[in-house]
Amino acid sequence: MKKLLFCIVFLSLGSWVFGQEKLVIGGSVSGTANYFLADSTIEAINTPQYDHQLFGSETWVALTGAYQGFEGGIRFDMYNNSNLIDPKGSYSGQKIGRWFLRKQIKALNVSAGYIYDQIGSGIIYRAYEERSLAIDNALYGVRLAYDLSPNWKVTAFTGKQKKQFDYYPTTIKGGSISGYLKLDSLGKFAISPGIGMVSTTLADATMNRIVSAISTYTPQDSIGAKYNTCAFTLYNTLSAGKFSWYVEGAYKTNSVMFDPLAEKHNWTGQNSLGRLVNRPGSVVYSTLTYAQKGLGITLEGKRTENFNFRVDPFVNLNRGTLNFLPPMARSNTYALTAFYAPATQEFGEQGVQVDIKYSPSRKMTFGLNYSNIQDLDQTPLYQEVYADFSIKHKRKWVLTTGVQLQNYNVERYYNEPGAAPAKTVTPFVEYLYKFTRKKSLRMEAQFLNMLKGDHEELPSNGSWAYLLAEYNIAPHWSFALSDMFNAVPGEISIVNPSTGQKDIIHYPRADVFYTVGSTRFSLSYVKQVSGIVCTGGVCRLEPAFSGVKATLSASF
């Protein structure tokens, strides 16, 4: 396959050289380099990087091209003592991380290699990458898409899911039919329906591991297992003037999953940390939006039950996931409003979210968001009320202020039995002042106030403060200084080993950014607190970091 790819690229280059047809080439490069400085005060210690390696990096170099209806690309991935794959470990390796070929043959589109795609909103299938969270769930296989008409398409695919520089042995196959249909001559009323299916077949080696594991269970806890699992989804978007309504329902047949809360579901064994289970799953998701000049309203709802859909039941975290479950909480951008982020619960979650944006003029904007997430037993998992207000004065300055209220189930999200919930009130303010068209100063101030519960001490990590100043010189330079510190230490705050006290610990950061064209460099000194990091509803727990970061991103 590599030789075939080389030949195609070589012939394309040759044709380009002799002027038969123009070859269009583009690409990108991105990378991060970390220099680790051990700091026992914030518990940034005891990993290979801090102990002796000191340096780690990740680099991606991609090249794409198009010629005579062909499209192709190749990406080189390199990891040197990286903690991205495993935040507490070290990984090194370099290979071709992705290649693909694509050809449009009249109404048929053929793709081969590493493919990114999704069905509907991704509830039953989403092959995607999110490098900041060490996710690259590409399908290594073939995809066919055929245009039945200008408004209707059918797709089919098969292959295996990528696993770093390898792939999982489980076979994946599926397809979908989607389209668009006007309900009136003006196009103000329309529907965009779709139906999809994904099926997996476990490899013999994976099934043997499952059989070996469940053979130790008591007879009443025996679960059985099947090689094949199917997931189905039906979805539609209804557009009616200023309203848009999306609804999707998905069902998954029995599949073997590792349930970390199996003891809550009639598990009679001795292992209280979870076990393999064999259950069907379902998801119902809907979002209704209303938009007119100056006003936008979005209402979302979702119910999830046993929808852990992986190519291997023995992998966890973000590994081996075939699908994506839309989050029921807003993506917060400020450091302290994002401090407690709710990870999507695959085994049981029901939630609603309302988001309102109102702009009475170009100078003012009001925002309001409410989210409420529970498990299927109606145990509170996460509640948030968020409100902000922004005002502009000519083109001179912009002021944004607001407040966030949270009730966060630390026991569930951090897996800390008996931990008290984090109930917070977080006011924030941001001010942007433009000295000239090219020079500006942006400042942030936030305070996460942890409310006391039944405990004498503040639960979880206590109360926090955050300050930032950023000076920009367009179009090239940007400088930022910030500090985040536990203003009032909490119940599980870090204890100073020398004093035995819970000290106020500062997490300073200094950044320099340089941008020229499509190229951006950064150099940063960072002390980062441990916590959950989320992107688009996908989360992972990261340890504390202390050291220097350098990044590069460029496209051509």
Q: E strands of 394-476, at which residues? A: 397-408, 422-434, 439-450, 463-473
CA distance 348 to 303: 8
Distance CA 21, CA 19 (A): 6
Distances in Å between the alpha carbon of 488 and those of 83, 247, 353, 448, 465? 31, 44, 31, 10, 9
Q: 272 is written with which tokens?
A: 């209280």
Predicted local distance difference test score (pLDDT) of residue 21: 64
pLDDT, residue 522, reads 97
> How many CB atoms are closer than 10 A to CB 307?
27
The CA radius of gyration of the chain, in Å to the nearest whole number, is 26
Phi, psi of 218 (to 5 degrees): -70, 155
CA dihedral 215, 217, 222, 227 (to 10 degrees): -40
- Residue 311 gets which letter from DSSP? S
CA-based nearest residue to 516, from 545, 549, 473: 473
Rounded to an integer, what distance in angstroms lies between the CA atom of residue 78 and that of residue 94?
Answer: 4
Amino acid identity of residue 528, one-letter, is Q
Give which of 59, 60, 51 is closest to 89, Cα–Cα: 51
The DSSP symbol for 3 reads: H
Burial class (CB in 10 A: 0-12, 13-18, 19+), 262: buried
438 backbone dihedrals φ, ψ, rounded to 5°:
-110, -15
Rounded Cα gap, residues 103 and 89, in angstroms: 41
Strands 171-179, 181-182: pairing kind: unpaired
For every residue of 193-239, which 3-state class applies, written as one string? Answer: EEEEEEEEECCHHHHHHHHHHHCCCCHHHCCCCCCEEEEEEEEEEEE
Bridge partners of 398?
392, 432
Find the largest Cα–Cα distance for the chain. Answer: 79
| Residues of the chain below pLDDT 50 | 1, 3-4, 6-8, 10-20, 264-272, 454-458
User: Burial code of 7-34, b = ≥16 C-beta within 10 A, e = fewer?
Assistant: eebeebeeebeeeeeebeeeeebbebbb
Which residues are bridge partners to 450 per DSSP? 424
Distance between CA atoms of 173 and 195, rounded to whole angstroms? 15
Tell how far CA 40 is from the center of its chain. Answer: 29
| In contact, 6 and 29? CB cutoff 8 Å | no
pLDDT recorded at residue 10: 42
Bridge partners, 384 (sequence order): 371, 406
HEC string of 6-64? HHHHHHHHHHHHCCCCCCEEEEEEEEEEEEECCEHHHCECCCHHHHHHCEEEEEEEEEE
Q: Are the C-beta atoms of 34 and 548 separated by less than 8 Å? A: yes
Q: Count other C-beta atoms under 10 Å from residue 369's C-beta.
A: 20
* Residue of 141, 161, 311, 305 whose CA lies nearest to 228: 311
Evaluate the omega torsion of the peptide bond into residue 475 and state whether it is cis, within 30 degrees of 0. yes
**473 — phi, psi (to 5°)?**
-120, 95
Single-letter residue type at 285: Y
φ/ψ (deg, to 5) at 53: -80, -40
Q: How does pLDDT run across 269-289, given as a tens digit for each residue?
A: 444 457 899 999 999 999 999
Could you tell me the two tokens for 388? 């902000």
- Report how far residue 244's alpha carbon sits from residue 189's, in angstroms, rounded to the nearest whole number: 10
Q: Is 81:94 a contact under the CB 8 Å cutoff?
A: no
Residue pair 202/227 in contact by the 8 Å Cβ criterion: yes
Exposure of 290 in the CB half-sphere (CA atoms within 13 A): 7
Q: Do 341 and 315 contact (CB within 8 A), yes or no?
A: no
Run of H or E residues at 157: strand 152-163
- Alpha-carbon distance of 232 to 236, in angstroms, equals 14
Query: Measured at the alpha carbon of residue 533, what is the angle toward residues 79 and 256, in degrees to the nearest 5?
Result: 85
